[in-house]
Structure 1
Amino acid sequence: MTKLLPRLNAAQVQDLINLSFEYQINEAKNFPSALVSTATIGASGGSRVQDRELKHLCTTIRTIATDFGYPDLKLTQRQLFEVEVAVFLADSDLFESGEGLRDDVWAFIATVLLPDIVIWRHDIKSSSTVVETDEKLSTNHFKGGVRNTFQRLWLRAKALDRGLSNAKRWELLSTLTEDALVQLIERPSISASSRLSVAIGEGWLRHSKKSESKNMEPIMRRFMVLIRRLNEICLLDYFDDHALTETIDRLFNDASVKN
């Protein structure tokens, strides 16, 4: 049965992140906090998630963060931290249903349950306010969408999962650079298909190994332009595995010529 999670709309997110950091963090750690009551939940379509399940979510992510220095040290091994969190979120049964696709659910998780981790992950200074114009303090880290601190990790894991039977199931997630991940996941016409996303990830991996002296960032950006254009003409998901691999390799080679 679908587990319905609390939801927070954009206006509620804005109201809460205007609160002091200290208040947010203290409330979040005293679960269930008074802030939970500000969220709404679906009236039908499943059963309400239990507090113990949300607490387990928070405890696990904070435990992972603690292994990387939270709350005392600045995060230096960002990719390793994010891979661990992404894998945990991908394996969690809380997001197996359509709830994982809801921006307002992830807004609740970032703003109400784990604002301290958002603040630590993005090195937001307690002397500042989140609503300043500085890009580092963007509300995008809290509100739902591809820039949400946790939603982006769940989307990456879902898109680049090689499958339970693969001994290197999460290699793409841990190997692709941040720029490559952003280029892929923030293009829903591509990332909505896990098969296509994995095929692109495999192509990136192959090409990066034979292009050690080249900068993969501009190559990946040009490749994404080419493959999105092609995908509008013919649905790449309908290609068989061999044809899809050949097409992706050809487009990576074409994107490299201009480098």
Structure 2
Amino acid sequence: MVYLYPRLLPAAASHLRDEHLQRSVKYLRDHSALSHPSMYYAATGGARLPERTLGVLREAVRACAGERGYPTKPNRKQAASFDIEVATILHRDSGVVPAEAVAGDLWAFLSLVVLPDVAAWRFADLHRDRVLGTDVTRHVFGRLWWRAHLLYDEESGREDLYASLSVLSESDFDQIYARRTSIGGSPHLVRAIVRVWQTLDIPPHAERRVLRDFLMRVLRLNAFISFDSLPAEVLDEELDGVFQESVSVVVGANTGMSA
């Protein structure tokens, strides 16, 4: 069954964020809730999510944070580990579907009503994009659901279908998803990029520049090639060739400069 998640009206979301900025993580935990007077649901598309189910999801996310030092501010490694595990939980267990996941008001409800303490623990400044859902690609929870959705790979043959979540750093994945109208909106293409990326031998200092150069090349090819129509093995071969061009250009240029 498809469940509709509660959403939070924008004015109420902005007001809650302003209030939360003045509060501690402990206070926010004690005053979190599973409902709010300014919440609403989409008119059609499924049944309303039971509060009990929402409560189970809340405790699962909090448990992930607790394993990484919550309520003490996480270090970079803890934050990255939290993101990967919560991305899996949100995509696998929440029941959120893509049509709902594009709604910033849904993610605002999760970050400001259900889990304001975890949102503040993960991003202490509670930047507007991180909690209001104004940009789902940057939202504390919304970005994780989409990351998992794009990288969930049933064709990988792996036992862990979310294993690709740990391949790219958040900033590297953002480079892909920022181009979501052409590259980041295609799970088939994104999964292939990650599969091929794992096979490359790139000096760590050149990885970001190689990825940036590669994405520019793919954008140009996108006008002539329907990547989504290619079988996985053909697509992987095509992308490997593009990656090799980028590695040759970027790494080769660095070698020449060093010489």
- TM class by smaller structure: 0.7 to 0.9
Q: CA deviation at 1:160?
A: 0.8
State how far apart, in whole Å, the 2-side matches of 1:163 and 1:242 are: 14
Q: CA deviation at 1:143?
A: 2.0
Per the alignment, residue 146 of structure 1 pairs with 137
The answer on whether the counterparts of 2:6 and 2:109 sit within 8 Å (CA) in structure 1 is yes
Q: CA deviation at 1:49?
A: 0.8
State how far apart, in whole Å, the 2-side matches of 1:13 and 1:244 are: 43
Deviations 1:158-202 (A, max 9, x none): 111122852242332112122221112222132222221110001
Q: What is the RMSD computed on CA atoms of the aligned residues?
A: 2.3
Per the alignment, residue 41 of structure 1 pairs with 41
Per the alignment, residue 52 of structure 1 pairs with 52
State how far apart, in whole Å, the 1-side matches of 2:143 and 2:16 are: 21
The answer on whether the counterparts of 1:28 and 1:112 sit within 8 Å (CA) in structure 2 is no
Is 1:235–2:235 an aligned residue pair? no
State how far apart, in whole Å, the 2-side matches of 1:25 and 1:146 are: 27
The answer on whether the counterparts of 1:110 and 1:149 sit within 8 Å (CA) in structure 2 is yes
The number of residues matched between the two structures is 244
2:161 to 156, 166, 169: 169
CA separation of 1:25 and 1:3: change in aligned 2, threshold 3 A: farther
Q: TM-score, normalised by structure 1?
A: 0.84
Q: Given residue 79 of structure 2, which amino acid in structure 1 is its aligned partner?
A: R
Q: CA deviation at 1:72?
A: 2.8
State how far apart, in whole Å, the 2-side matches of 1:177 and 1:46 are: 35
CA separation of 1:13 and 1:228: change in aligned 2, threshold 3 A: farther
Per the alignment, residue 255 of structure 2 pairs with none
Is 1:192–2:185 an aligned residue pair? yes
Per the alignment, residue 102 of structure 1 pairs with 103
Q: How does 1:1-259 map to 2 (within 5 A)?
A: 1-20=1-20, 21-22=22-23, 26=27, 29-30=30-31, 32=33, 36-76=36-76, 77-96=78-97, 98-124=99-125, 130=126, 138-144=127-133, 145-163=136-154, 166-188=158-180, 189-207=182-200, 210-212=201-203, 214-259=205-250
**Which runs of 5 or more structure 1 residues have no equivalent in the other structure?**
125-129, 131-137
State how far apart, in whole Å, the 1-side matches of 2:38 and 2:96 are: 21
Identical columns (%): 28
**Which runs of 5 or more structure 2 residues have no equivalent in the other structure?**
251-259
Q: TM-score, normalised by structure 2?
A: 0.84
CA separation of 1:103 and 1:211: change in aligned 2, threshold 3 A: same
The answer on whether the counterparts of 1:176 and 1:205 sit within 8 Å (CA) in structure 2 is no
